[in-house]
């Protein structure tokens, strides 16, 4: 086999670190660099600072049964070259610690805390090494993603220590306002501790991972076919995005080609998902400011879009559509014509609702300058999606790392510098309007042909990533097969992962009543984060 020529960022990395053998990974654009553990922060820091490549995902794997080591994978996105650089380092089980990359690459912070909790590897030098995933009461020294932890057995609960390490606040006129995990509405659980001085918020702290279900552990040992049905159910609102990202990871593992008709149909489904999410999220944003007229109009339109999903694909949340190698079922001509008709009608009503809200002075005042996510904070924490684009960072996987047929489409990427609730509202509104047009364009260019191809045999001991720009931002699925070609490790990092970490920074300087509005302006998924 001839040696692959290094290009782009891979070549630059090799030139900067000649002793690190950079090789091609599986799937176009993926490059793997095994780095000596002690040099990990330096190399990662170089990739982030010199290549301007944000960290997209970091995964810890217990490869002791395979290679006698734990392994860490840090995945960086290099949009300029449409490449992914994966730095890999080995951790000796007899010295289960690794130098934290976080001081050089702040976006690594939560991944490293998760690796500490789930694998028991200490992130030396991490500025905030508190537990992240495991809540009080989890037995100390028990790490669920280690291969010797039996996922089918419930470990004995340890006596819970004192509350969780919130900094809180003290002094005259201050208060600590706890919100959740049980919220006033049918939404997912999360605990927020708001430190206030009167009505002004001094600080927000959050404890999440209440809906941690151990899905990644559950996936281990599953066939890749069965894994799809798990991927689809990580979250309700990103069901298709997660299913397609997973499918694409598996297809890159096997080298399968998805037929053109299936690629377009997948894209239609993904834009339908973006549309119903954005319309619904804008409605929820209105609820956050008690702008109930806007809320009702937009939720009415969201209902119509979910019924449309059911008519086109068979499921309101687009489950049962993605398949390995394509899609499960074709969409007929009649269904497409109906789809375009309904979208046309929803679009004009959507514009009407936006118009209504633009003219509402009180609502506008609530949104502007509220909950500002600073661009530098967003940059350092690796924020993606709507939140990034509303803070001046123009990133979108459909344009930066094109997948399916997006490379040939004109995908607008709206960018606003203000970083406030209003900016996030505007980004969603523009993207929703763009999705109406994209679906029409896709339907027009739908080629004939099969809708699914056989993915072929699944190779053992191989890993690949799959990615999709979900309604919230970049979702990355890391899939690794074991010696018997079943899933050995599955790590999902959705847009909610980096974005949740950034939310607390947007509260200080706002009022307590702004908290629901700011939270809803991000509208992040708890289930996607917690898995």
Task: Give the contact letters, 244-283, x = binds to other proteins (CB under 8 A), - = no.
Answer: ----------------------------------------
Nearest CA to 294 among 368, 363, 344?
363
> Rounded to whole angstroms, how far apart are CA atoms 426 and 55?
26
Task: Give the contact letters, 174-213, x = binds to other proteins (CB under 8 A), - = no.
Answer: ----------------------------------------
Q: Does 344 bind other proteins (CB under 8 A)?
A: no
CA dihedral 60, 64, 69, 75 (to 10 degrees): -30
CB 434, min distance to other proteins, A: 24
Q: Which residues pair with 464 in a beta bridge?
A: 479
| Structure-token pair, residue 310 | 């059911």
> Rounded to whole angstroms, how far apart are CA atoms 163 and 171?
20
> Rounded to whole angstroms, how far apart are CA atoms 113 and 60?
11
Piece in contact with other proteins (CB under 8 A), picked from 170-178, 212-220, 223-231, 259-267: 223-231
Q: Report the interhelical angle of 514-522 vs 260-288 (nearest 10°).
A: 180
Show the 3-state SS of 409-428: CCCCCCCCCCCCHHHHHHHH
| Structure-token pair, residue 71 | 């392994």
Task: Give the contact letters, 483-522, x = binds to other proteins (CB under 8 A), - = no.
Answer: ----------------------------------------
Closer residue to other proteins in complex, CB, 325/498: 325
Q: Does 229 bind other proteins (CB under 8 A)?
A: yes
Task: Give the gyration radius of the chain's Cα atoms.
Answer: 23
- Look up tokens 């070549």; give the residue: 11
> Rounded to whole angstroms, how far apart are CA atoms 123 and 144?
17
CB 293, min distance to other proteins, A: 8
In this structure, are residues 450 and 262 in contact, taking their beta carbons and an 8 Å threshold? yes
Task: Give the contact letters, 62-91, x = binds to other proteins (CB under 8 A), - = no.
Answer: ------------------------------
CB 250, min distance to other proteins, A: 15
Task: Give the contact letters, 346-385, x = binds to other proteins (CB under 8 A), - = no.
Answer: ---x--x--xx-----------------------------
Closer residue to other proteins in complex, CB, 329/375: 329
**Count of residues that interact with other proteins, criterion CB under 8 A:** 23
> Rounded to whole angstroms, how far apart are CA atoms 4 and 293?
59
CB 359, min distance to other proteins, A: 8
In terms of Cβ atoms closer than 10 Å to its own Cβ (0-12, 13-18, 19+), residue 186 is exposed
CB 327, min distance to other proteins, A: 12
Q: Does 450 bind other proteins (CB under 8 A)?
A: no
CB 229, min distance to other proteins, A: 4
Residues 6+ apart with CB under 8 A from 300: none
CB 465, min distance to other proteins, A: 23
In terms of Cβ atoms closer than 10 Å to its own Cβ (0-12, 13-18, 19+), residue 95 is exposed
Q: Report the interhelical angle of 333-358 vs 260-288 (nearest 10°).
A: 30
Q: Does 335 bind other proteins (CB under 8 A)?
A: yes
Site for other proteins in 285-324 (CB under 8 A): 296-297, 300, 303, 310-315, 319-320
User: CA geometry: angle at 398 spanning 517 and 10, to 5°?
Assistant: 115
Q: Does 109 bind other proteins (CB under 8 A)?
A: no
Closer residue to other proteins in complex, CB, 214/314: 314
Closer residue to other proteins in complex, CB, 230/373: 230
Q: Interface with other proteins by CB under 8 A: which residues?
A: 226, 229-230, 233, 296-297, 300, 303, 310-315, 319-320, 328-329, 335, 349, 352, 355-356
């Amino acid at each position: 086999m001839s040696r692959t020529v290094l290009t782009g960022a891979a070549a630059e990395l090799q030139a900067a670190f000649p002793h690190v053998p950079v090789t091609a990974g599986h799937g176009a654009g993926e490059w793997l660099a095994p780095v000596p553990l002690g040099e990990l922060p330096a190399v990662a820091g170089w990739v982030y600072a010199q290549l301007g490549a944000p960290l997209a995902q970091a995964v810890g794997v217990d490869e002791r049964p395979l290679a006698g080591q734990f392994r860490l994978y840090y995945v960086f996105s290099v949009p300029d070259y449409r490449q992914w650089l994966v730095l890999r380092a080995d951790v000796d089980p007899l010295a289960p610690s690794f130098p934290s990359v976080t001081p050089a690459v702040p976006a690594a912070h939560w991944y490293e805390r998760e690796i500490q909790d789930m694998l028991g590897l200490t992130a030396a030098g991490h500025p905030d090494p508190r537990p992240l995933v495991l809540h009080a009461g989890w037995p100390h020294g028990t790490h669920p993603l280690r291969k010797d932890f039996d996922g089918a057995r419930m470990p004995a609960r340890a006596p819970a220590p004192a509350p969780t390490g919130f900094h809180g606040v003290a002094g005259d006129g201050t208060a600590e306002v706890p919100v959740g995990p049980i919220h006033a509405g049918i939404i997912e659980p999360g605990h927020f501790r708001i430190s206030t001085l009167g009505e002004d918020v001094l600080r927000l702290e959050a404890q999440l991972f209440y809906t941690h279900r151990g899905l990644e552990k559950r996936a281990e040992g599953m066939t890749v076919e069965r894994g799809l049905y798990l991927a689809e159910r990580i979250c309700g609102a990103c069901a298709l995005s997660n299913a397609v990202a997973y499918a694409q990871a598996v297809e890159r593992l096997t080298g399968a080609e998805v037929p053109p008709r299936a690629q377009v149909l997948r894209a239609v489904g993904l834009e339908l998902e973006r549309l119903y999410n954005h319309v619904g999220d804008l409605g929820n944003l209105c609820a956050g400011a008690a702008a109930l007229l806007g809320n009702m109009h937009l939720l009415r339109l969201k209902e119509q879009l979910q019924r449309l999903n059911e008519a086109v694909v068979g499921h309101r949340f687009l489950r049962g559509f993605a398949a390995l190698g394509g899609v499960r079922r074709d969409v007929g001509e009649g269904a497409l014509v109906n789809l375009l008709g309904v979208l046309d009608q929803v679009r004009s009503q959507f514009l009407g609702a936006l118009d209504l809200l633009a003219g509402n002075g009180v609502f506008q005042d609530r949104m502007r300058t509220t909950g500002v996510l600073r661009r530098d904070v967003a940059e350092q924490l690796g924020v993606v999606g709507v939140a990034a684009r509303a803070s001046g960072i123009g990133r979108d996987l459909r344009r930066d790392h094109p997948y399916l047929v997006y490379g040939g489409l004109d995908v607008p990427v709206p960018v606003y510098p203000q970083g406030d609730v209003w900016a996030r509202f505007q980004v969603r509104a523009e993207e929703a309007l763009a999705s109406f047009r994209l679906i029409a364009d896709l339907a027009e260019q739908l080629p004939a042909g099969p809708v699914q191809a056989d993915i072929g045999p699944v190779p053992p001991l191989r890993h690949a990533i799959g990615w999709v720009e979900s309604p919230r931002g970049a979702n990355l699925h890391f899939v690794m097969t074991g010696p018997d070609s079943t899933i050995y490790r599955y790590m999902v990092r959705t847009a909610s992962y980096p974005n949740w970490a950034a939310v607390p920074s947007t509260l200080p300087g706002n009022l307590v009543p702004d908290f629901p509005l700011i939270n809803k302006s991000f509208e992040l998924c708890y289930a996607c984060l917690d898995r």
